[in-house]
Amino acid sequence: MNKHDKTQLWGSGGVMKKCFLVLFMVFFLAVPFRGASAVSYSDFYKWLDDLREEALYAGISDDTVNHALSTDLEPIERVVNLDKKQPEKVITFEDYKKNVVNPKRIALGSKLIKENHKILKEISRAYGVEEKYIVALWGIETNFGQNTGGFEIVPALVTLAYEGRRSSFFKSELFNALRILDEGHIQLHELKGSWAGAMGQCQFMPSSYHAFAVDYDGDGKKDIWNTKADVFASIANYLLLSGWKKGEPLLEKIEVPSWFDSKLVTLDISRPVSFWKNLGVKYANGKALPNSNKLVSIVQPGGEGYKLYLAHNNYKVIMKWNKSTYFATSVKYLADYLKK
């Protein structure tokens, strides 16, 4: 309908045109809404056809492609909106910590570390990762498996690959998710997680799943959705392969002299402990740093005015998991509060 037709239709008081308007609106509302994109959905279905061909070329089986990338797939408006949404405000570290390291979570974590002590101890020995850090990551990521996300992973990744800001990245993650289905680790309807594709109780992206997920119970499936042994071992394996050193701290509280250059407070600068000692850095309790060649950095997770820490290798390993000093520091706090 062109602009002139619309003007005539709305301007007329005739019964015939009013009836036509009603019928037109009924028809319009009956058509399913398929998303929030300005791009026509004929383009989406052509894109989806090409995606199927690309998936087959990448080695995904016919059965998985036909089942997971079926013709009734369509972009998810909620995923598009979440991807485009910008934070309204910057949360402080104290507020963040209150949200993720609170008495309720500490109590539940302490209860669960006791209940699962046998398998956690076994996995800790096998991978060289302390139980408390396995449980802390489990707790902060999904509240110990209670909040894993309710989005179907394949449709969410299809949406992000089609309309997202990082199309190539999400297409790669989509193909990795299809390979998980191909390998029989989980059924399509069970493959759920966050809107951005993070899956299971440890919130692995599909690529991380292939790199780090473990079938610890030996049932032929790397089940990070339902099997605690696989969840714990997968977390531990991620840390181990990322360079974890058992027994090494994450952070140590320090004090610096008033003239200390704030530009040195960054993970990008690693120097021997003795280097920082020579610059007047001390432990927060006033004790001198040791003469050590171990490389460490100085960080201030909350920003100016907050506590300063020596950041060790294991802290940087946690930062590989999530590139947030708030997250990594909260893992340290929660782990320290857990009681076995």
Q: According to the model, what pLDDT value does residue 40 have? A: 52
Give residue 41's pLDDT: 63
Longest dimension (CA), the chain: 93
- Look up residue 104 and give its two tokens: 């309720």
pLDDT of residue 20: 42
* pLDDT attached to residue 56: 96
What pLDDT is stored for residue 140 in this prediction?
Answer: 97
Coil, strand, or helix at residue 143? coil
Q: What stretches in the chain show pLDDT beneath 70?
A: 1-42, 86-89, 164
The pLDDT of residue 90 = 79
Report the pLDDT value the prediction gives residue 165, as an integer from 0 to 100: 81
pLDDT in tens, 284-293: 999 999 999 9
pLDDT in the model for residue 305:
76
- Phi and psi of 222, rounded to 5°? -90, 85
DSSP string for 238-286: HHHHTT--TT--SEEEEE--TT--GGGBEEEEEEEHHHHHHTT-EETTS
Residue 222: what pLDDT? 97
pLDDT at 86: 58
